[in-house]
Every structure is written in structure tokens, then in C-alpha cells.
Amino acid sequence: MSATLLSGKQLAKIIKQKVQHEARALEADGVRPALAVVVATDDGSTHWYVRSIERAAESAGISCRIVDLGPNATGQVLASVLKDLSEDPSVNGIILQTPLPPGVGTDELVGHIAPEKDIDGANPLSLGRLAVGQPSFAPATARAVIEILDHFDIPLAGRNVVVIGRSAVVGKPLSLLLLERDAAVTVCHSRSGPLERYTKTADVVVVAAGRTGLLNGGHVSSGATVIDVGTNVLPDGSLAGDVDEGSVRGVAAALTPVPGGVGSVTTSLLLLHTTEAAREQLRSLVPGAVR
């Protein structure tokens, strides 16, 4: 038996259509949704990724402003730019793109992104709100995992779900989203011991560790769904996930590919969050005047 591949491409297309529809509705209400991406690196693959967000945004009817501060930007300059964008009424969503210049910490900066514009859930306030069930944007990657599971009708309530990775951008927010969906969640990390102790009995395994080949066929049971969040650039420039696809496909029931899985859905969700933020900001400006 070979696991079904859960491609994210069709779902990404559906979300993009929703974004286009919502962007047109916002235009009709007098607002062109706008996203700002702050970049401070000369890393080529980061610039390639940011340009891909820009292209996707423009084609969906969202303005995209790239604020390129260069690889020598200081923490002070970055903080001031994030504060200005947070106060700028023409900007609805803000992304602070990593990597940042050496010595500049992400943690100190993300707190300057206004939570209502924090469309990638980077501000610790967003994670805190998520933890207590208040409205906030979850990191797009964490939401992408849930959207994929829903799209393919994989049940979560009462299911045994294992998340490998506990970062603030993927593992933690994802475990909160899964709890909200009534899954029984176990979070593994580099010190939790042998993975198979947890993953062998899991209905769903999500791997977000950034370690090529971390999860193999011996770790999972037949019937399991495996979601591979990992994106690892191999020496030849190609992309691989955290799953040893060959062996896992022989055992599991379903698996997301890399590339073409979680990553494809993530960008569309960043755009969807931007339209959601724009709609909410419009509502707070003109209560009752718009949908």
C-alpha cells in the first residue's frame, strides 16, 4: 500500500479565489487591502520568497509594499519602521521577514507589530490570545496544517495527534489550534525521547523540526496521516521535508509532499489574513456601515 499524497495546491487555489472575492468586496467598500513586508537581509532565497508573496498578493487584488532596509539595518530602525507601519491606516497587514541582520533579535521586534495587523501571528500577544481563545491571527503555517486536515476530511476531535516541534511559530500555536479542535495533543521536541514512543499510536503526526528524514516508516502506524511542515534546502538546492517520504509512504495512509504541501497553502493564508484584517479594521472605523 502506498500513502495518498495530500497536495496543498488545490486548496491554495480555493483560498486564493476566496481572497480575490474578499479583495473585490473590500474595494467596493472603498478599501484596497494592503500588506507590508519588512526585509533586512541580502539572502537571495529570502528575496525570492518575498517576491513570490508580492506576485501572489498583486494577482489577488492586494497591494504589497516591500520595505527593504538592507542587511545592515539596526534593531532601532526596524522597530521604528514596524511602529510606523502599525500606525499607518493604509496598511492592513505586516510581516517581519527573517533572517534579520546579525545581532538583531526577532523577539524584541515582533512586539512592535500591532496585533490587529499581525497577520502571521508573530507578536507574543497574538500567541497569548490564541492560548486563551480570544480572536487573533495564528501563524499562517500553523493554520495551513489545520486547513489541509479539514480539506481532506481528516477528523481531529478525540484523535491522538502528535506534533514534533515546539517553536513559537509552528509547534506551539499549532498545538493550541489542535486543542481548540478537541484533539488529544502530544508535543515532542529534541528532549522528549524516542519519537516512536509517541508517534506509533498517533492518528495524525505533524513534523515541524527542520531535520531532513527525522520521521521514517518505522515511526508511524498504518492508517496514520502525516503532515510534513519541514522545509530543508539540500546541498543541490532542492527542497526536502522532515519526512523520509519513501519509507513513510509505504506505511502511512496519507502524507503531504514537500514541496507542494503545507508551504503552498501558507502563502494563500497570509493573503486571506490580510483581507480579514482589512475587513476588521474597516468595521472598527465605520461600525455598522459595512458587512
| Contact footprint for ligand NAP (CB under 6 A) | 141, 164-167, 169-171, 188-191, 208-211, 214, 229-232, 262-263, 266
**Closest approach of Cβ 146 to ligand NAP, in Å?**
13
Q: Which is nearer to ligand NAP, 37 or 282 (CB)?
A: 37
List, in sequence order, every residue forming a beta bridge with 205; answer none if it has no partner. 162, 226
Closest residue by Cα to residue 165 from 114, 117, 228? 228
Ordered alpha helix ranges (H), the chain: 9-28, 44-60, 75-87, 106-110, 124-131, 140-151, 171-180, 196-199, 245-249, 262-285
Least spacing, CB of residue 181 vs ligand NAP, in Å:
20
* Between 200 and 211, CB nearer to ligand NAP: 211
Dist CA 133 CA 181 (whole Å): 12
Helix H or strand E encompassing 35: strand 34-39
Sequence-distant contacts of 235-241: CB under 8 A, at least 24 apart: 240/212, 240/213, 241/207, 241/212
State the pairing for strand pair 232-233/239-240.
antiparallel
What is the closest distance, in whole angstroms, from the C-beta atom of residue 139 to ligand NAP in the complex? Answer: 8
In terms of CB distance, is 186 or 281 closer to ligand NAP? 186
Helix 9-28 × helix 140-151 angle, to 10°? 110
Residue closer to ligand NAP, measured from CB, 116 or 228 = 228
Closest distance of CB 163 from ligand NAP, Å: 9
Q: Is the dihedral of CA 53, 55, 58, 59 positive or negative?
A: negative
Q: How far is the CB of 52 from ligand NAP (least distance, A)?
A: 12
Residue with Cβ nearer ligand NAP (136 or 141): 141
Q: Closer CB to ligand NAP, residue 31 or residue 138?
A: 138
Least distance in angstroms from the C-beta of 222 to ligand NAP: 22
The whole-angstrom separation of Cα 148 and Cα 6 is 8
For cell 468586496, the residue is: 25
All 3 cell numbers of residue 267?
Answer: 502563502
- How far apart are CB 187 and ligand NAP at their closest, in Å? 8
CB-nearer residue toward ligand NAP: 230 or 257 = 230
Best CA proximity match to 91, nearest among 267, 281, 269, 288: 281
248 and 218 in contact (C-beta within 8 Å)?
Answer: no
Q: How far is the CB of 177 from ligand NAP (least distance, A)?
A: 14
Closest to ligand NAP by CB, 126 or 266: 266
